[in-house]
Chains A and B, each alone.
Chain A
Amino acid sequence: MDGISVNYYVGLSTILFVIGATGVLIRRNALIIFMSVELMLNAGNLAFVAFASAHDLLNGQVFVFFIMTVAAAEVAVGLALIVAIFRSKKSINVDEINVLKG
Chain B
Amino acid sequence: MNFSEAATSGLFFHLAPWLVFFPVIGLLINMIFGGKMSEKAVGTVASLASGAAFVVSVLLAYSLNAVHGELQTVPFAEWIHIGQLQLDWTFRVDSLSTVMMLVVSGVGTLIHIYAIGYMHEDVRFHDEVKRFRRFFVFLNLFIAMMMILVSGDSYLMLFVGWEGVGLCSFLLIGFWYDFDTLGRKSTANAEAGKKAFIANRVGDFGFLLAIFTTFWHFGTLQFDGVFEAAAAHPDPYVISAITLFMLIGVTGKSAQVPLYVWLPDAMAGPTPVSALIHAATMVTAGVYLVVRSAPLYSVVHSASYIVAMIGAVTALFAATIAVGQYDIKKVLAYSTISQLGFMVAAVGTGAYVAGIFHLAAHAFFKALLFLSAGSVILGMERGHHHLAHGHGDHADADAHHEDGEVFDPGDMRNMGNLRKQMPVTFWLYLAGTLALAGIFPFAGFWSKDEILLDAKLHAEHFPGVYWLLAIAAFLTAFYMGRQIWMVFYGKERTEVAKHAQESPPIMTVPLMFLAFLAVFGGALNLPFEGFHNLGHWLEYTIGHVEDLPLNLGVAGVSTLLALLAIFLSWLIYGKNPIKAGQPDPLKKALGPIFTGMENKWFVDEGYKAVVLDPFQKLAKFLSITLDWNFWHDWFHESVIYGFFKWLAAFLSDPVDMGIINAVADWLADLTKRSSESLRRLQNGFVRSYALSVLLGVVAILGYLLFK
Q: Which A residues fall within an 8 A CB radius of B?
A: 21, 24-26, 28, 33, 94-95, 97-102
Asked whether B681 lies within 8 Å of A94 as measured between CB atoms, the reply is no
Asked whether B680 lies within 8 Å of A25 as measured between CB atoms, the reply is no
Name the one of A21, A94, A99, A102 contacting B686, with C-beta atoms under 8 angstroms.
A94
Asked whether B684 lies within 8 Å of A25 as measured between CB atoms, the reply is no
Q: Which residues of B contact A98 (CB under 8 A)?
A: 683-685
**19 further A-B pairs in the complex, CB-CB below 8 A; given A97-B684, A101-B684:** A24-B690, A25-B687, A25-B691, A25-B694, A26-B687, A33-B686, A94-B685, A94-B686, A95-B685, A97-B686, A98-B685, A99-B684, A100-B682, A100-B684, A101-B682, A102-B678, A102-B680, A102-B682, A102-B683
Most buried by A among B680, B682, B683, B686: B686
Interface string of B664-707 (1 = CB under 8 A from A): 00000000000000111111111100110010000000000000
Q: A101 vs B682: C-alpha distance in the bound complex, in angstroms? A: 5
Q: A97 vs B691: C-alpha distance in the bound complex, in angstroms? A: 17
Asked whether B687 lies within 8 Å of A24 as measured between CB atoms, the reply is yes
Asked whether A21 lies within 8 Å of B694 as measured between CB atoms, the reply is yes
Q: A25 vs B698: C-alpha distance in the bound complex, in angstroms? A: 15
Instruction: Please give me the residue from chain B that is nearest to A94 by CB atom.
Output: B686
Name the one of A25, A28, A95, A102 contacting B690, with C-beta atoms under 8 angstroms.
A25
Asked whether B683 lies within 8 Å of A101 as measured between CB atoms, the reply is yes
Q: Which residues of A contact B678 (CB under 8 A)?
A: 102
Name the one of B679, B687, B691, B694 contacting A102, with C-beta atoms under 8 angstroms.
B679
Q: A94 vs B685: C-alpha distance in the bound complex, in angstroms? A: 7
List 7 tightest A-B contacts by C-beta distance, closest first: A98-B684, A101-B684, A102-B682, A102-B679, A101-B683, A94-B686, A25-B687
Q: Which residues of B contact A100 (CB under 8 A)?
A: 682, 684
Q: A94 vs B691: C-alpha distance in the bound complex, in angstroms? A: 14
Q: A96 vs B681: C-alpha distance in the bound complex, in angstroms? A: 17
28 A-B interface contacts by CB (under 8 A): A21-B694, A24-B687, A24-B690, A25-B687, A25-B690, A25-B691, A25-B694, A26-B687, A28-B687, A33-B686, A94-B685, A94-B687, A95-B685, A97-B684, A98-B683, A98-B684, A98-B685, A99-B684, A100-B682, A100-B684, A101-B682, A101-B683, A101-B684, A101-B685, A102-B678, A102-B679, A102-B682, A102-B683
Q: A28 vs B690: C-alpha distance in the bound complex, in angstroms? A: 13
User: How many residue pairs at the A-B interface have CB separations less than 8 Å?
Assistant: 32
CB distance from A79 to the nearest CB of B (A): 16
Q: Which residues of B contact A95 (CB under 8 A)?
A: 685
Q: A21 vs B693: C-alpha distance in the bound complex, in angstroms? A: 11
Q: Which residues of A contact B679 (CB under 8 A)?
A: 102
Q: Which residues of A contact B686 (CB under 8 A)?
A: 33, 94, 97
Instruction: Please give me the residue from chain B that is nearest to A95 by CB atom.
Output: B685
CB distance from B676 to the nearest CB of A (A): 9
Q: A89 vs B678: C-alpha distance in the bound complex, in angstroms? A: 28
Q: Which residues of A contact B694 (CB under 8 A)?
A: 21, 25
Q: Which residues of B contact A26 (CB under 8 A)?
A: 687
Q: Which residues of A contact B687 (CB under 8 A)?
A: 24-26, 28, 94
CB distance from B218 to the nearest CB of A (A): 101
Most buried by A among B680, B682, B684, B694: B684
Q: A2 vs B690: C-alpha distance in the bound complex, in angstroms? A: 37
Instruction: Please give me the residue from chain B that is nearest to A22 by CB atom.
Output: B694
Query: Of residues 447 to 474 in B, which have CB atoms within 8 Å of A's CB atoms?
Result: none
Q: A101 vs B679: C-alpha distance in the bound complex, in angstroms? A: 8
CB distance from A41 to the nearest CB of B (A): 14
Q: A10 vs B467: C-alpha distance in the bound complex, in angstroms? A: 150
Asked whether A102 lies within 8 Å of B681 as measured between CB atoms, the reply is yes
Q: Which residues of B contact A24 (CB under 8 A)?
A: 687, 690
Q: Which residues of B contact A25 (CB under 8 A)?
A: 687, 690-691, 694
Instruction: Please give me the residue from chain A that is nearest to B679 by CB atom.
Output: A102
CB distance from B554 to the nearest CB of A (A): 128
Q: Which residues of A contact B683 (CB under 8 A)?
A: 98, 101-102
Q: A102 vs B680: C-alpha distance in the bound complex, in angstroms? A: 6
Q: Which residues of A contact B681 (CB under 8 A)?
A: 102
Q: A102 vs B684: C-alpha distance in the bound complex, in angstroms? A: 7
Q: A21 vs B690: C-alpha distance in the bound complex, in angstroms? A: 9
Interface string of B488-532 (1 = CB under 8 A from A): 000000000000000000000000000000000000000000000
Most buried by B among A25, A33, A97: A25
Instruction: Please give me the residue from chain A that is nearest to B688 by CB atom.
Output: A25
Q: Which residues of A contact B682 (CB under 8 A)?
A: 100-102
Q: A34 vs B11: C-alpha distance in the bound complex, in angstroms? A: 129
Q: Which residues of B contact A97 (CB under 8 A)?
A: 684, 686
Q: Which residues of A contact B690 (CB under 8 A)?
A: 24-25
CB distance from B688 to the nearest CB of A (A): 9
CB distance from A38 to the nearest CB of B (A): 15
CB distance from A3 to the nearest CB of B (A): 30
CB distance from A63 to the nearest CB of B (A): 19
Q: Which residues of B contact A94 (CB under 8 A)?
A: 685-687
Q: A25 vs B679: C-alpha distance in the bound complex, in angstroms? A: 21
CB distance from A36 to the nearest CB of B (A): 10
CB distance from B72 to the nearest CB of A (A): 113
CB distance from B673 to the nearest CB of A (A): 14
CB distance from B516 to the nearest CB of A (A): 124
Q: A26 vs B687: C-alpha distance in the bound complex, in angstroms? A: 7
Instruction: Please give me the residue from chain B that is nearest to A96 by CB atom.
Output: B684
Q: A28 vs B686: C-alpha distance in the bound complex, in angstroms? A: 9
Instruction: Please give me the residue from chain B that is nearest to A28 by CB atom.
Output: B687
Q: A98 vs B683: C-alpha distance in the bound complex, in angstroms? A: 7
CB distance from B474 to the nearest CB of A (A): 122
CB distance from A50 to the nearest CB of B (A): 19
Most buried by B among A97, A98, A99: A98
Q: A79 vs B694: C-alpha distance in the bound complex, in angstroms? A: 23
Q: Which residues of B contact A99 (CB under 8 A)?
A: 684
CB distance from A55 to the nearest CB of B (A): 21
CB distance from A26 to the nearest CB of B (A): 7
CB distance from B8 to the nearest CB of A (A): 124
Q: Which residues of A contact B680 (CB under 8 A)?
A: 102
Q: Which residues of B contact A33 (CB under 8 A)?
A: 686
